[in-house]
């Protein structure tokens, strides 16, 4: 083109004004334009320097090393050969992690740094043997930032031996050293159960109660009617010599008394029969707030229990009861202990949260029996040992168990029973379904559930308060491993 202005033709055939650009020399691959550290000056590091908590100090630059150009020097080499002693030590701790994370940092840059994982050949980098920035010795690699604190407990319960067992105040598993047979460790374990919020203490006997089946006003009204009937029958018998009313009142009173005695003896079995006959529900179709019965295999949570006497590990429910027989001149086990009967002297009953895998649907639900929940257990107990004045010295373990609980071992006839639900047992649970953020739970109902009258068995209605646990004696039954 005949223009006085200089122009040139591009590769696509277009003519543009101006002189063609001179080809620039390509920068070596060892250097990268995105490196945050330039010439070893921390002020040019940007946000990356703040992220590693590097202190901004006025650094001394010793200039380029030898005749090598400064642009070919990586930040790792600059950190090792320039700056004051304090800054060089601080930067050397982070040079390995920075050079490995920034693209374009080659093996020569990592070789000059004081730390770093591997070079380009996959071998450990060699540390500089010469003096660095005034004779500072090479420092070992350190992790950036403080160590994370121990996380507190989140409420999620899991199964397994790693996180199972008692926890300390920070939420981590507590390490217990020394023999577990010592009295101090047993007292510490019993104290932890008593004061742990995750454990529900059930220190009442689950026997059938007539007072719990009927309201007190109805009971007092029945008693008042019988008293008035006896008075009226006696007055008529004395006045007109007619004993018909008195006979009728005696027959009715005998029938009512026999019914009450029958229910006192067989009422618990009637409640167990009601639980056994209650149909199992499918958790897939169960609605939120529905009262259901679920039967499945038990899995422990993050705080498994241990039975008191036999020391059976990984349990979700434990019960140990000591009974005493009272003769004519024997001591009473409690204030309500009658003669020629067995009375409860001591009871240790605990329950915690656990998981249950439903047989009907295969779903897994969290059963909230811990943290002070209302629980009605119907767990069979087996007789562990019978003690009388003749053989009380033949069981040192039983005597040790009594001493740990400050119970006397004088001339008494005692019986120790123990029941438990260990991991892998088959259990039936009755409660209310609750769905919360895709978490399926079974919680206690707000009001007690009545069993109703069982006319075929002559059993009066009884109330089931809270969650109902039903498990047969598992001492001689093989459980399912989980």
DSSP per-residue codes, 61-83: P---STTS-GGG--HHHHHHHSS
DSSP-based helix, strand, coil % in the chain, nearest 5: 25, 20, 50
> How do residues 137-153 score in pLDDT, each as one tens digit?
444 444 445 554 454 44
| pLDDT recorded at residue 176 | 45
DSSP letters along 85-129, please?
HHHHHHHHHHHHHHHHHSTT--HHHHHHSS--S--TTSSPPPPP-
- Mean pLDDT of the region 288-299: 95
Question: What is the separation of C-alpha 253 from the centre of its chain, rounded to a whole number of angstroms?
Answer: 53
> In which band, very low, low, confident or very high, does the pLDDT at 155 lie, cut at 50, 70 and 90?
very low
Q: Which of 46-60, 61-75, 205-219 has the lowest mean pLDDT?
A: 61-75
Among the listed residues 52, 125, 62, the one whose alpha carbon sits nearest the alpha carbon of residue 91: 52
Would you tell me the crossing angle of helices 216-240 and 244-277 to the nearest 10 degrees? Answer: 160
Among the listed residues 277, 293, 292, the one whose alpha carbon sits nearest the alpha carbon of residue 456: 277
Among the listed residues 402, 397, 209, the one whose alpha carbon sits nearest the alpha carbon of residue 322: 402
Task: Look at the chain and count its residues.
Answer: 482
Strand partners, 367: 354, 442
Q: Which of 99-103, 175-179, 226-230, 358-362 has the lowest mean pLDDT?
A: 99-103
Instruction: Report the alpha-carbon distance of residue 87 to residue 41 in Å, rounded.
Output: 10
Query: Which one has a higher pLDDT value, 426 or 79?
Result: 426
- The residue written with tokens 């943290």 in the block is 371
Residue 247 above 70 pLDDT?
A: yes
**Where exactly are the structural domains of the chain?**
210-269, 282-471
Q: Which of 217-221, 269-273, 393-397, 405-409 has the lowest mean pLDDT?
A: 393-397
| pLDDT recorded at residue 480 | 54
- Mean pLDDT of the region 8-32: 68
Query: Which one has a higher pLDDT value, 101 or 409?
Result: 409
* Distance spanning both ends of the chain, measured CA to CA: 89
What torsion do the CA atoms of 291, 293, 294, 299 make, to the nearest 10 degrees?
80
| pLDDT recorded at residue 4 | 57
Which of 293-302, 388-397, 453-462: highest mean pLDDT? Answer: 293-302
Contact between residue 399 and residue 392 where contact means Cβ atoms under 8 Å apart: yes
Residue 61 above 60 pLDDT?
A: no
Among the listed residues 186, 193, 177, the one whose alpha carbon sits nearest the alpha carbon of residue 401: 186
DSSP letters along 306-364, please?
--SSS---SEEEEEEEEEEEE-SSSPPSSTTPPTTEEEEEEEEEEE--EEEEETTT--E
Contact between residue 268 and residue 325 where contact means Cβ atoms under 8 Å apart: no
| pLDDT recorded at residue 224 | 94
> How do residues 88-111 score in pLDDT, each as one tens digit?
334 434 333 333 333 443 444 343
What torsion do the CA atoms of 110, 111, 115, 118 make, to the nearest 10 degrees?
70
pTM over 0.75: no
- Mean pLDDT of the region 155-171: 47
CA 24-28-31 angle, 5° bins: 115
């Amino acid at each position: 083109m005949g223009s006085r202005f200089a122009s040139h033709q591009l590769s696509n055939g277009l003519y543009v004004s101006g002189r063609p650009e001179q080809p620039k020399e390509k920068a070596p691959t060892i250097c990268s334009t995105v490196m945050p550290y330039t010439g070893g000056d921390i002020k040019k590091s940007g946000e990356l320097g703040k992220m590693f908590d590097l202190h901004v100090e006025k650094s001394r630059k010793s200039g380029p090393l030898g005749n090598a150009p400064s642009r070919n020097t990586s930040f790792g080499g600059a950190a090792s050969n320039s700056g004051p002693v304090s800054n060089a030590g601080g930067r050397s701790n982070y040079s390995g992690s920075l050079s490995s994370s920034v693209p374009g940092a080659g093996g020569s840059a990592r070789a000059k740094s004081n730390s770093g994982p591997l070079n380009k050949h996959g071998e450990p980098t060699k540390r500089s043997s010469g003096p660095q920035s005034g004779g500072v010795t090479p420092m070992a690699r350190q992790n950036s930032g403080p160590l994370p604190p121990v996380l507190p407990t989140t409420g999620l319960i899991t199964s397994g031996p790693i996180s199972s067992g008692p926890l300390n105040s920070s939420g981590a598993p507590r390490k217990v050293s020394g023999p577990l047979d010592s009295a101090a460790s047993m007292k510490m374990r019993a104290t932890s159960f008593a004061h742990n919020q995750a454990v529900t203490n059930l220190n009442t006997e689950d026997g059938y109660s007539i007072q719990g089946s009927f309201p007190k006003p109805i009971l007092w009204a029945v008693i008042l009617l019988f008293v008035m009937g006896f008075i009226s029958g006696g007055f008529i018998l004395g006045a007109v010599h007619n004993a018909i009313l008195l006979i009728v009142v005696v027959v009715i009173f005998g029938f009512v008394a026999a019914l009450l005695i029958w229910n006192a003896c067989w009422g618990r079995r009637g409640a167990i029969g009601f639980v056994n006959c209650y149909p199992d529900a499918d958790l897939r179709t169960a609605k939120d707030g529905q009262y259901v019965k679920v039967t499945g295999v038990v899995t422990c949570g993050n705080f498994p229990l241990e039975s008191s006497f036999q020391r059976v590990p990984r349990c979700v429910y434990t019960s140990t009861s000591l009974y005493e027989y009272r003769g004519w001149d024997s001591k009473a086990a409690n204030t309500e202990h009658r003669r020629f009967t067995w009375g409860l002297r001591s009871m240790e009953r605990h329950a915690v949260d656990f998981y249950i895998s439903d047989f009907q649907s295969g779903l897994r639900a969290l059963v909230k029996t811990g943290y002070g929940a209302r629980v009605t257990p119907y767990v069979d107990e087996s007789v562990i040992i019978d003690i009388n004045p003749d053989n009380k010295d033949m069981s040192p373990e039983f005597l040790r168990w009594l001493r740990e609980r400050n119970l006397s071992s004088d001339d008494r006839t005692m019986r120790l029973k123990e029941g438990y639900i260990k991991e892998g047992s088959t259990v039936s649970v009755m409660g209310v379904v609750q769905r919360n953020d895709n978490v399926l739970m079974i919680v206690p109902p707000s009001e007690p559930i009545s069993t109703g009258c069982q006319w075929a068995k002559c059993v009066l209605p009884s109330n089931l308060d809270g969650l109902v646990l039903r498990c047969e004696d598992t001492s001689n039954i093989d459980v399912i491993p989980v």
